[in-house]
Amino acid sequence: MRPQKSKRFRDNKNTHISNRWAGYYMEDIECKHCVHWRGRKKGCPFRGCAYEAEKLDAIKQGRIKRRGGDILLAM
């Protein structure tokens, strides 16, 4: 049986998260990354984009193009 962590580690409120998620970039919301995209010949089955709200939010916040320091590591 593994020992439990002491209370000192659980109640530590002095942690700092420096890399907070701020939203999508336009590069992240392209059609080729969409779950509904069926390829270049078939395209999207919907008349309107399912992620239009995210695209408008990215444009509103000025997150059009990724800067050099912002690297997407998840993909």
CB contact set of 28 (below 8 Å; sequence gap of 6+): 72
Confidence bin at 9 (pLDDT 50/70/90):
low
Domain map of the chain by residue range?
Answer: 23-64
Q: Does pLDDT of 5 surpass 80?
A: no
36-20-14 Cα angle (round to 5): 145
pLDDT tens string 40-52: 899 888 888 888 9
Q: What is the pTM of this model?
A: 0.57
